[in-house]
């Protein structure tokens, strides 16, 4: 194989989860490796030393197809597996392979509560797409590369110089995957550690609410103040990451950080939990088990379909605090 194209259009967490395949391809068969993604996610690949060229589009595939045709690829690794990636494969007409998305099994679990889900992480399923090339998982986990210009200098933040700090990723694309502000504040007060709240501009109001609810004053609201790479830089420096099921969770796993991931309407069994092979003792899954309505979706909702939101409201705060203290002592 001389030239290979990997397709992964979005989003943050899913792209981070492709990095073991990218690394393994480059190091095990030494090919020329290209990526196809959406323009808004290009920066996630830009600093990756295993990638030779990035192709991206803003709205339509027609923006990039002519250039892809010129590349004369030998093989396509489809790590997105949707209609758009099928269109690319149909146009380029070269050998390709993909992976099992387990959508029928997810449907059974969501709608019938019958568990036929594969007992493997999505990263291991991604490797199905390169199995025919003889490429295997090297077991080194995820990668995340921060451009030098985005390294955060902790000397600029006096709060973070005093003692080990933790980061709390409070955001999420769907309401039913977001830990309630009052419960986050209760955990922060019980831990009494310096805390950085991470998220986008859309999470700034929630972060402000958490600070108002806290009696602990060692809180830094960085939501909307940092770009993604800068947030990743703070995660890299932190002693512990508490996080919703979001892209920052996977970035934390890429840095082999102790992680407490909080699960609402979705479940880790879908295969998207923090991936830290060989260091699973650093990963804690906080969830309300045995709820008959859970999982109610493989993605999430803007409000709880049942109206009670027990998958988050019934989260055991004391369990999270105990596990946080254990992980901080590692």
Could you tell me the pLDDT band of residue 36, with boundaries at 50, 70 and 90? very high
User: DSSP assignment of 162-202, as one string?
Assistant: SS--EEEE---SSGGGS--HHHHHHHHHHH-S-EEEE--GG
Residue 260 Cα distances to 143, 155, 175, 194, angstroms:
19, 27, 19, 16
How far apart CA 12 and CA 44 sit, in angstroms, is 8
How far apart CA 20 and CA 79 sit, in angstroms, is 12
Task: Read off the pLDDT of residues 207-263 as tens digits, 9 standing for 90 and up.
Answer: 999 999 999 889 999 999 999 999 999 999 999 999 999 999 999 999 999 999 999
98 token code pair: 């993909």
- For residue 162, what pLDDT is reported? 75
- Describe the crossing of helices 317-328 and 181-191 by its angle, rounded to 10 degrees: 40
C-beta neighbour count of 71 within 10 angstroms: 15
> Locate tokens 């005093």: which residue?
162
Q: Write down all domains in the chain, each with its CATH number in brackets.
A: 3-133 (3.40.50.2000), 159-328 (3.40.50.2000)
For residue 108, give the DSSP letter.
I
How far apart CA 98 and CA 117 sit, in angstroms, is 18
User: Is 68's pLDDT higher than 90?
Assistant: yes
- For residue 1, what pLDDT is reported? 73
Task: Read off the pLDDT of residues 70-111 as tens digits, 9 standing for 90 and up.
Answer: 999 999 999 999 999 999 999 999 999 999 999 999 999 999
| Peptide bond just before 295 cis, omega within 30 deg | yes
Report the residue count for the chain.
Answer: 330
CB 141 within 8 A of CB 256: yes
How far apart CA 38 and CA 132 sit, in angstroms, is 27
How far apart CA 27 and CA 6 sit, in angstroms, is 15
234: Cβ contacts below 8 Å, ≥ 6 apart:
152, 160, 167, 196, 198, 222, 226
How far apart CA 243 and CA 257 sit, in angstroms, is 12
């Amino acid at each position: 194989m001389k030239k290979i194209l990997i397709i992964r259009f979005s989003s943050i967490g899913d792209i981070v989860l492709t990095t073991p395949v990218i690394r393994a391809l480059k190091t095990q068969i030494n090919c020329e490796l290209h990526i196809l993604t959406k323009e808004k996610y290009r920066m996630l690949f830009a600093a990756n030393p295993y990638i030779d060229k990035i192709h991206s589009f803003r709205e339509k595939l027609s923006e990039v197809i002519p250039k892809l045709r010129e590349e004369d690829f030998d093989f396509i690794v489809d790590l997105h597996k949707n209609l758009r990636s099928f269109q690319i494969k149909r146009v380029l007409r070269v050998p390709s392979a993909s992976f099992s998305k387990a959508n029928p099994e997810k449907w059974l679990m969501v709608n019938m509560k019958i568990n036929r889900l594969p007992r493997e992480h999505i990263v291991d399923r991604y490797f199905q797409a390169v199995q025919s090339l003889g490429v295997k998982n090297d077991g080194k986990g995820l990668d995340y590369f921060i451009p030098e210009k985005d390294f955060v200098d902790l000397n600029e933040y006096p709060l973070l110089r005093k003692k080990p700090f933790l980061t709390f990723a409070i955001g999420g694309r769907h309401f039913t995957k977001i830990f309630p502000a009052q419960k986050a504040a209760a955990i922060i007060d019980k831990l009494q550690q310096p805390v950085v709240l991470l998220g986008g501009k859309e999470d700034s109001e929630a972060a402000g609410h958490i600070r108002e609810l806290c009696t602990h004053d060692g809180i830094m609201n960085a939501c909307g103040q940092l770009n993604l790479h800068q947030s990743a830089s703070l995660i890299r420096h932190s002693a512990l990451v508490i996080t919703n099921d979001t892209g920052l969770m996977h970035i934390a796993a890429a840095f082999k950080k102790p992680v407490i991931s909080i699960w609402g309407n979705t479940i880790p069994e879908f295969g998207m939990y923090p991936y830290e092979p060989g260091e699973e003792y650093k990963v804690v899954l906080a969830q309300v088990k045995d709820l008959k309505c859970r999982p109610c979706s493989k993605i999430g909702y803007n409000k709880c379909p049942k109206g009670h939101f027990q998958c988050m409201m019934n989260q055991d705060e004391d369990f999270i605090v105990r596990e946080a203290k254990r992980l901080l002592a590692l």
